[in-house]
Chains A and B, each alone.
Chain A
Amino acid sequence: MEENSTLVESKQYIVVKIGNEQYGIDIQYVDNIVRMQRVTRVPKAQSYFKGVINLRGEIIPVMSIRLKFGLDADEITNATRIIIIKLEPQSAIGILVDEVKEVVTLEDTSVEKVTYNSKDEKNAYLSGIGKHGDGLISLLNIAGVIIEKEIV
């Protein structure tokens, strides 16, 4: 695999910061990145949904990765961003992150698959660990994060 490096597949990721960790989001699902804006709470929704926002006339639900991952609640700062993800053309969803850092290109060779561990449900949210420079980036399995498995 390492021999024919010319054919190695590579993907671009947007690197975001949530707490102290760096996460990578596959750029092909990212529709937009917007600043924090007024979020309208939706009663009786799943707890990790912050509510909905109006993005140029479209209603988009916003989900907190922190709450979904069981971390402390978000602290809204000037660096907070909402990443608009489109898995399907008609249904967008926003993810709240602490900070957007950069766009990196990772070759498949520098991505390590995570071993599946059924005890740790957070693992289902990751598709792999990317090595970039001297840091590690947890690559998010966006579909796994967004799509509800069990009804909370």
Chain B
Amino acid sequence: MYFKKIIPVIGISLLAMFKQVSAQDDTHQIIKLWPEGVPGVKSNSDPEVHDKNGGISNVAVPTLTVYKANTDQANGTAVIVCPGGGYSHLAFVKEGVVPAKWFVSHGVTAFVLKYRLKEYGHPAPLQDVLRAIRLVRSRVKEFNIKEDRIGVLGFSAGGHLAASSGTLFDSPEGKTGASLDSISARPNFLMLLYPVITLRNPYAHKGSGISLLGLNPTDEMVHHLSLDEQVSSSTPPTFIVQTEEDKTVPVENSILFYQALRKSGIKSELHLYANGPHGFAMNPNLGTTSEWPDRLVSWMDSYGWLKQAQ
């Protein structure tokens, strides 16, 4: 009797361990964002959780996992990839590792960002993404990339984080007094996939808002993190993809950001498809929606980012 109960438990644990390896692939370099100590660290936090679908939650030690472009293909462009998960977990494989490998196949060096979530709330995720950009930019020689070719891509809540980096890059919240603070945290381009943009009704994604700001945020904070309200003339060029069918994050989020970019004179491209539920990521079976990576290649190509840097 006892064995019958314990065997499945062992099986599940083994499976979990196996998946943990695939989410945290140890053939790739992992860089801690805050070697000097994570700002605002909580001393008695629970351990990080890795689920069977390649997801991660309860992040306490933010990192970048490096997917280096092959030397003969590398074009000098880098992308920091922010997985989504409503700021409560990270779809680390589906919206991190998989797109990172796709970038590598196009000569782009990718960094998958593991950022802090609802256990910390705002400003921890913003601190993490801005530190990530500063860190990558401070080590361009080591990664064989150019400091003016660093993009940030994000899915869903990761899209909110990416859009935060493109609008709040100078925010004092991103600085901790470290010498790295002097390096620009402004991304050179943004790529937003079914992004969370606004925290205001009726188009807000409630879960993301609660994870970031709690149940009763001030209007000031809602304004601060409703990113269509933060676009300025220094927001970088942006590429946006979203579907009409998305029931989790309304397509209006993409439209709001696009219209704000347009108002500020920022060049951008918007692709809104019909089919595909929220979180389609790189699913190849969604008709024309699955062609978004081709659109991204065309867009990056039109800026010369996929050609060898001079």
A and B: real partners? no
Q: Which residues of B contact A (CB under 8 A)?
A: none
Q: Which residues of A contact B (CB under 8 A)?
A: none
